[in-house]
Structure 1
Amino acid sequence: MTDRFPSGSIVSYPYLWRWQHDEGRENAEKDRPVCLAITVRDPEREITHLVILPISGTPPYQGQAALEIPPLEIRRAGLSMFKRGWITVSEYNYDIAERSYYFEPNQKPRGMFGPSFMEEIRRAIHPMLAARQSRIDRTL
């Protein structure tokens, strides 16, 4: 699975926002482009862990942390429908690819972010991941 969807892949996914989760919702309103920020294969359990970040053409709301996506990365990622784009780094969905009700394993990634931008994303999300804060678990 990680060969087909390496870290940095841009795919469609019904991302559940923190505010939706806090309202008690279990399903997102729509599919949206997301970045598979981290994909980690666990060969012993035969699963692939996914850390999924939402991408939007709308600037972040107050209280949200997001990185603006550079124009070159918008093109690499296949996000040309956005004049400007942001990747939210203050929350994430966690899912397991092989067991997911939401992740579509037969889709083709629309593109990928380059290594330099992915490193910037990883630096931005590291504190959040270490604290496990803002994780929305989609495996339940």
Structure 2
Amino acid sequence: MSFPDPIPGLVIRYSYLWRREADQGQEEGRKDRPCAIILTTQNDAGLTRVIVLPVTHSPPVAGQTAIELPHATKQRLGLDDARSWVVITEANDFIWPGPDLRPIGKDRSTVAYGVLPPSLYRTIRDAFVSEARRSRKVLVSRTD
């Protein structure tokens, strides 16, 4: 399996570790899910650090902020028809490609669904950056 370039806005399949799971001592995500790459950076060693936001069917609960994915975007990405939200109040970060990427599709040759529309990506990114400035508990680091 080859890995795409981890560009911001790319939606990937990933074993996401929720903050509540990490706080309970878990080190592995319990479910593979679509996640949106929201930011990428290069570290001093030249490795790419990726920050991903989870996509969930669960509407946001108290203390959680999320942005609903439009139905047309979900269709274009090949996701199901159920309502889904991108959670912006927490994120995972890891060094790309990392061990928690999961293949999708029948041929299992890719980890990517596709790219968010630019305007939706900017809305999600800006909301995440605003949240990250307010809270230090946003990131769950997955890279040792």
Q: What TM-score do you get using the length of structure 2 for normalisation?
A: 0.83
Structure 1 pair 107–39 and aligned structure 2 pair: CA distance change class (3 A): farther
Structure 1 match to 2:45: 45
Match of 2:140 among 127, 136, 139: 136
Say if 1:90 and 1:110 are closer, same or farther in 2 by CA, change over 3 A: same
Q: Distance in 1 between matches of 2:110 and 2:69?
A: 23
SS in 2 for 1:6: coil
**Where in structure 2 are the equivalents of 1:68-107 lying within 5 Å?**
68-79=68-79, 81-98=80-97, 100-103=98-101, 107=110
Q: Does the 8 Å CA contact 1:48/1:96 hold for their aligned counterparts?
A: yes
Of all paired residues, the percent bearing the same amino acid is 31
Report the 3-state secondary structure (helix = DSSP H, G, I; strand = E; otherwise coil) of the residue aligned with 1:37. Answer: strand
* Corresponding pairs, count: 137
- Could you tell me which runs of 5 or more consecutive residues in structure 1 were left unpaired when the two chains were aligned: none
Q: Partner of 1:139: helix, strand, or coil?
A: coil
Q: CA RMSD in A?
A: 2.3
Query: Over residues 37-67 of structure 1, what are the superposed CA-to-partner deviations in whole Å (9 max), with x where a residue is unaligned?
Result: 112345x522111011000112122221111
Q: How does 1:22-41 map to 2 (within 5 A)?
A: 22-41=23-42
Q: TM-score under structure 1 normalisation? A: 0.85
Matched residue type, 2:121: M
| Contact 1:5-1:109 within 8 A present in 2 as well | no
